[in-house]
């Protein structure tokens, strides 16, 4: 189906699917997880089959070699002016890329066996992410190389395969001044060997859309590319319970592509609220013999973008309640882990998030699978840099030779995910100025359209004046503005599309559980402890407070949604402390690096989660030394009014007020509360003025006992599953101690191992993988990982002068 355009109008209708291949009798997929050898540094002759790697480190892949530290301010220290932040004079940036040792060369080696029966088959080696500039060798021969560390890529290695033992070696090179955040290091995503017959379905060769959808009928269009010119395909469709619905054969071969149109009666549509997934099995036959087979889970849905309604999903106007996410997983670094990703996304789901932007790189396959399963709209981004550099050794070095190849791989690998509703070809690229940038934007957008004519393309544009004048913004399918809320009205008037997307918003900064006085709005505020206030009134020089975006979402129907910077804190970019040490991770997140929600989480939850009650009080009520002083109290709630009490004494009723101060439109604020130890209580009222919910927090005594709470106690014994255990300290009465900073020790026994810990403190230099860490604002998180043996797992957390916390988990083999 072609995209169609009219003046001041852009519309798109499409249903898309997501592809996941499994093993069959004619196709084997071997995932190379265990059995790797790793060594950092230049290793001569490491490509050789006879090379002795016995003294190298044994690792499993996915693997991030740099996350183990140590933190060091000298690592990748950059003397730069960050133009995107409005800086003009270069200054020393110490924590910009996380201050972890990711610079340099490293090698991975593994061995695998190929039987004589398989020797005549086709072998494809697939890398889902390798940081960075990978060079790949098989049995001493170079079989390929790539450049972009975020790209998926593959090579046909059939000619280099040997019968029996084969040796795979991978060289990676991370240059300094190559990133604006922590990029990670290593084979941080999966490596797979795909073995299939010589005549087969092409890699990422299935493309499924539905050009027609009603409540009673969907037309499923399936294109299947093969590497041959004969045979036929058969596609069978199953419902979510695995029951066959329909099947169809096709012998119509156009070039190297079969095309099928399959009717599906009474389709169940995919949406964030009901992410229903079907399954399609595509079989390729030659002379009536099965030659290849792939299996595809898919979801049916229809999307439309137009000037009258904005974004429409399944005939329903939908605003993007989105967050931007970097690719690191906090204490795990960039090494992909599905349990960690799922925990992230469940926290976002509880907050009411319905959309995710992969920032500023290509998402992992696992993240897209979870988006399909859990119900998230997805903005899949490609590049942070085009031809003009942001950093000396960034993607600008590869743009001419690799941009098209990287986009082709991104689209073909992921275009069948129902979650993806738009592509992004770039973020805040310096190419926004001038005619050459307009030409590049058009060229990249045309590649996306060629590979996938069913979705629109955006760019995160921060130079709004420039793109209005040059025509850059006018040619984009979807004009995405990064910040610049004061220019929304002007952009709406000048751009022809009829709507605006907040492709990146807010950049509010805060540290979990840290509150600063006096309580006032401020840009780029700094304090001696290198923390930011969790009163959520501090932001960056280029950005704004959440309410500025809320007002645009609520009052301007042509603003189709926002993607907040960011859902989670991430390693690197410690604004506003880019020039301070120690600061090595961001403050932007609604959720901290450990995965513990900050206060701001509840501000967005009160607005986005329309099903569940939100009633959240801040600050904490432990302020020894502030007795008698004014200590403002904020309440984030989806109720319109509430009454506050201090030790039973009313502080009055506050209501949200639409006109006037933007903060009181979305927050309940008591500015004149005088602190006294005891109980802070809030009672919320329904629309009729009747008390309907209450919440209280109390002043804690000294820390007494460690409390453990796991996100899951039943795990899979696969060696990869992780339980995230939140550790907190309470006093003798069970009251949480919000200022506790005790040093704790962790011990795991049984059929599990200690994996890492994180406290969410952007200034902490404690290493994640060591079994000890300080509490930050009374909490931290311990990661317990399963082994491949099922059984009981015990976690013990201890600290001097504290009652030890104990927790039992259990792992099971998958049935």
Give me the active site residues, please: 428, 504
My answer on whether omega of the bond before 566 falls inside 30° of 0, hence cis, is yes
To the nearest 10°, report the CA torsion of 146, 151, 156, 157. 60
Distance from C-alpha of 482 to C-alpha of 565, rounded to nearest angstrom: 10
> Helices 546-555 and 599-608 meet at what angle, rounded to 10?
0
- Burial call 81-90: b when 16+ CB within 10 Å, e when fewer: ebebbeeeee
Report how far apart, in Å, the C-alpha atoms of 297 and of each of 215, 276, 361, 362 are.
Answer: 20, 10, 24, 21
Instruction: Evaluate whether 542 touches 84 at the Cβ level (below 8 Å).
Output: yes
Distance from C-alpha of 492 to C-alpha of 499, rounded to nearest angstrom: 7
CB-side neighbour CA atoms (13 Å) of 662: 13
Ramachandran sector of residue 95 (left: φ over 0; alpha: ψ -120 to 50; beta: rest): alpha
To the nearest 10°, report the CA torsion of 254, 257, 262, 268. -150
Alpha helices in 424-557 (DSSP H): 434-451, 464-470, 472-475, 488-494, 546-555
Measured at the alpha carbon of residue 665, what is the angle toward residues 613 and 570, in degrees to the nearest 5?
65
Distance from C-alpha of 634 to C-alpha of 661, rounded to nearest angstrom: 14
To the nearest 10°, report the CA torsion of 695, 699, 704, 707. 20
Alpha helices in 304-454 (DSSP H): 338-351, 365-374, 399-414, 434-451
SS3 42: coil
Distance from C-alpha of 558 to C-alpha of 502, rounded to nearest angstrom: 11
Widest Cα–Cα separation across the chain: 88
């Amino acid at each position: 189906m072609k995209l169609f355009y009219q003046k001041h109008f852009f519309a798109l209708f499409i249903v898309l699917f997501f592809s996941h291949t499994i093993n069959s009798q004619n196709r084997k997929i071997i995932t190379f997880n265990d059995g790797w050898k790793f060594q950092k540094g230049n290793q001569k002759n490491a490509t050789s089959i006879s090379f002795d790697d016995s003294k190298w480190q044994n690792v499993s892949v996915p693997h991030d070699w740099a996350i183990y530290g140590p933190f060091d301010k000298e690592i990748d220290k950059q003397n730069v002016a960050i133009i995107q932040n409005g800086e003009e004079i270069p200054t020393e940036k110490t924590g910009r890329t996380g201050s972890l040792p990711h610079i340099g060369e490293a090698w991975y080696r593994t061995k695998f066996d190929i039987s004589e029966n398989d020797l005549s088959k086709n072998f494809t080696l697939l890398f889902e992410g390798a940081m960075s500039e990978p060079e790949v060798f098989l049995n001493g021969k170079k079989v390929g190389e790539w450049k972009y560390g975020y790209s998926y890529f593959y090579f046909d290695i059939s000619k280099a395969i040997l019968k029996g033992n084969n040796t795979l070696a991978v060289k990676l090179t991370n240059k300094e001044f190559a990133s604006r955040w922590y990029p990670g290091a290593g084979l941080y995503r999966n490596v797979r060997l795909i073995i299939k017959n010589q005549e087969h379905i092409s890699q990422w060769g299935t493309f499924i859309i539905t050009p027609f959808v009603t409540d009673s009928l969907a037309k499923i269009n399936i294109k299947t590319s093969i590497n041959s010119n004969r045979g036929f395909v058969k596609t069978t469709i199953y419902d979510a319970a695995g029951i066959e619905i329909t099947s169809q054969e096709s012998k119509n071969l156009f070039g190297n592509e079969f095309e099928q149109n399959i009717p599906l009666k009474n389709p169940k549509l995919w949406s964030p609220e009901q992410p229903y997934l079907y399954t399609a099995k595509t079989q390729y036959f030659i002379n009536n013999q099965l030659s290849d087979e792939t299996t595809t889970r898919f979801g049916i849905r229809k999307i439309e973008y137009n000037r009258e309604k904005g974004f429409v999903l399944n005939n329903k106007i939908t605003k993007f309640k989105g967050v931007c996410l970097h690719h690191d997983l906090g204490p795990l670094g960039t090494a992909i882990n599905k349990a960690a990703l799922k925990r992230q996304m469940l926290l976002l789901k509880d907050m009411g998030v319905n959309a995710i932007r992969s920032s500023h790189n290509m998402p992992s396959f696992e993240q897209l699978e979870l988006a399909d399963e859990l119900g998230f709209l997805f903005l899949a981004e490609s590049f942070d840099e085009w031809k003009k550099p942001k950093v000396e050794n960034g993607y600008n070095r590869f743009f001419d030779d690799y941009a098209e190849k990287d986009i082709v791989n991104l689209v073909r690998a992921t275009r069948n995910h129902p979650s993806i509703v738009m592509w992004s070809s770039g973020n805040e690229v310096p190419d926004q100025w001038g005619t050459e940038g307009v030409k590049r934007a058009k060229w990249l957008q045309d590649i996306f359209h060629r590979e996938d004519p069913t979705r629109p393309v955006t760019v995160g544009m921060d130079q709004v004046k420039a793109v209005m004048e040059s025509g850059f913004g006018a040619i984009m399918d979807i004009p995405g503005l990064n910040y610049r809320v004061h220019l929304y009205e002007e952009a709406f008037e000048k751009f022809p599309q009829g709507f605006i997307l907040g492709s990146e918003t807010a950049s509010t900064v805060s540290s979990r559980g840290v509150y600063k006085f006096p309580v006032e709005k401020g840009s780029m505020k700094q304090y001696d402890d290198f923390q930011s206030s969790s009163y959520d009134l501090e932001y960056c020089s280029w950005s704004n407070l959440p309410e500025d975006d809320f007002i645009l979402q609520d009052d301007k129907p042509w603003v189709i949604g926002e993607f907040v910077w960011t859902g989670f804190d991430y390693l690197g970019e410690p604004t506003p402390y880019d020039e301070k040490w120690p600061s090595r991770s961001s403050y932007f997140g609604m959720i901290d690096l450990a995965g513990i929600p900050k206060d701001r989480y509840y501000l967005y939850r009160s607005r986005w989660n329309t099903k569940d009650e939100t009633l959240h009080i801040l600050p904490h009520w432990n302020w020894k030394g502030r007795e008698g002083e004014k200590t403002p109290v904020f309440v984030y709630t989806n109720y319109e009014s509430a009454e506050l009490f201090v030790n039973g004494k009313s502080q009055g009723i506050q209501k949200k007020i639409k006109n006037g101060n933007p903060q009181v439109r979305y927050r309940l604020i008591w500015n004149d509360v005088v602190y006294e130890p005891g109980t802070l209580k809030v009672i919320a009222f329904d629309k009729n003025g009747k008390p309907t919910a209450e919440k209280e927090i109390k002043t804690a005594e000294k820390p007494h006992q460690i409390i453990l709470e796991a996100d899951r106690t039943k795990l899979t014994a696969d060696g990869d599953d992780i339980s995230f255990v939140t550790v907190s300290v309470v006093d003798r009465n069970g009251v949480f101690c919000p200022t506790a900073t005790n040093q704790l020790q962790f011990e795991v026994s049984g059929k599990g191992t200690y994996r890492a810990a994180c406290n969410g403190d952007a200034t902490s230099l404690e290493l994640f993988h060591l079994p000890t860490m300080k509490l930050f604002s009374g909490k931290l998180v311990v990661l317990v990982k399963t082994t491949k043996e099922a059984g009981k797992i015990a976690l013990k957390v201890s600290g001097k002068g504290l009652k030890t916390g104990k927790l039992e988990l259990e792992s099971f083999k998958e049935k």
